[in-house]
Amino acid sequence: MMMTDFTGEHMWLQIQHELSLRKLIEGSEYQEELKYDFNIKGELRHLDTNESFVFNYYKNAHEQNHKRYEVLGHLITQYVYELLERVCMLQKVYIPTDATEDEPRSFFFISKNALTTSSSLIVLLQDRGVFCAGQWGQRTIISKGLEHGTQIPFIKMALQRYEGVIVLNPNDNFVDLKTEKERLSSSIGEEALPSMRSVWWIPKRGSSSPEEHTMYVWDHFISKSAAKNVAFIAHGYGGLVFVDLLVQRKWEVMNKVYSVAFIDSMHNTRHQTRSDPQIQEWIRKYSREWVSNSKPLDKAVCSRMKVNCSTVSAGTKKYGLAPSCCLHAIFKYLKGMLKAKTRTAFRHSPVATRSSTSEKRGNK
């Protein structure tokens, strides 16, 4: 199935015909306690009562309710992964690329031919948390729906207006030994498990942190791509991760990235850039931040923490809704930045220079 031009309710109605969260829930031990699915508006609703998700399903049993919530979150993650592949038509790329057969791997998503034929590329980098690729926030998905909590509207618009998109997966950092003990016992031997019981998490090489994951994808994919115009959209901690990448790969990023749109970013220009005037100037010229604020969308907001970064309102005071509220404003900004870069490149191109010289000679 190809990504369509549908928007809003039409898009989620089409998705409902393609995939069902309920089918994933039916295979779990909580199929009676989680009788939920997404409706034609992309909202999570109970199949019998049509009510929103209720956390306190069990009376006076917080731990049991939390476990139920975790199971729902895990199933939503799997559901969104399927949406990325089957509806958005993105390809899953496993990393590290040189991983052995038994080595834990992470992955990210990319549109077809984005690295080889695209001249423009949008990279999505979300906040830190339990949620993975394709999600701006899991709580927002559960409470407000797919339209607000997933990155699908951003992916859809990126594919319509640009030639390629990459969806990073910065929070997929570890393998849980509790869920992988069967695989481990077969590969390292049952006798080795007792000594490892106190260490329940195994870091994934190349993705043990959001910073490492982003750096790995940059070094092995984005920096080597044919795309000359790369833009990042970074939410929350993702903004800090991007600035870390900018510091670590300074000239590469400055030459290849034409703009970055921050959303409620946690980056700190003064602290992270180590008072590097070139990086601070780059951030001033090529970035903008949308922050949760009571002011109307795109109205200027004063920010003492974000020196050298213009800051405007996201059009909402709610942190979880900020990405969806400023979606169109961000793409309008990126479009303007790309046009400005194209005009600058044309003015400095040899062809333009020769043409201008010829015109001057002809006027003499």
pLDDT tops 80 at residue 301: yes
Report d(CA 362, CA 342) in Å as an integer: 27
- Side chain identity at 119, as an amino acid letter? S
In angstroms, how far is the first alpha carbon of the chain from the final one? 60
Q: What confidence tier does 147 reach under pLDDT thresholds 50, 70, 90?
A: very high
Q: What is the pLDDT of residue 11?
A: 67
- What average pLDDT score do residues 223-230 get? 94
Of 148, 170, 169, nearest to 320 by C-alpha is 148
- What average pLDDT score do residues 192-207 get? 65
Listed in sequence order, the DSSP H helices in the chain are 8-18, 21-25, 62-82, 138-144, 146-149, 152-161, 177-188, 210-217, 237-248, 250-256, 269-272, 277-286, 322-325, 327-347, 350-363
* Stated pTM of the model: 0.86
Q: What is the share, in percent, of the chain residues with pLDDT greater than 90?
A: 66
pLDDT tops 60 at residue 237: yes
Report d(CA 85, CA 155) in Å as an integer: 12
Tell me the range of 10-24, 127-141, 261-275 where mean pLDDT is highest: 127-141
Report d(CA 45, CA 52) in Å as an integer: 5
Q: How many helices (H) and strands (E) does the chain have?
A: 15, 12
Which is more confident, 161 or 325? 325
The CATH code of the domain at 88-172+207-355 is 3.40.50.1820
Which is more confident, 271 or 73? 73
Which is more confident, 113 or 359? 113
Average pLDDT, the chain: 85
Alpha-carbon distance values, 268 to 175, 304, 309 (Å): 30, 10, 10
Q: What confidence tier does 12 reach under pLDDT thresholds 50, 70, 90?
A: low
Residue 268 main-chain phi, psi, to 5 deg: -130, 105
Q: DSSP assignment, residue 206?
A: T
pLDDT, tens digit, 9 for 90 and up, residues 158-179? 999 888 999 999 999 998 766 5
Strand partners of residue 167: 109, 124
Report d(CA 146, CA 151) in Å as an integer: 8
Q: What is the pLDDT of residue 270?
A: 75
Q: In terms of DSSP bridges, do strands 164-167 and 106-111 run parallel, antiparallel, or are they unpaired?
A: antiparallel
Report d(CA 68, CA 25) in Å as an integer: 11
pLDDT tops 90 at residue 15: no
Domain regions of the chain by residue span? 1-86, 88-172+207-355
Q: What confidence tier does 305 reach under pLDDT thresholds 50, 70, 90?
A: low
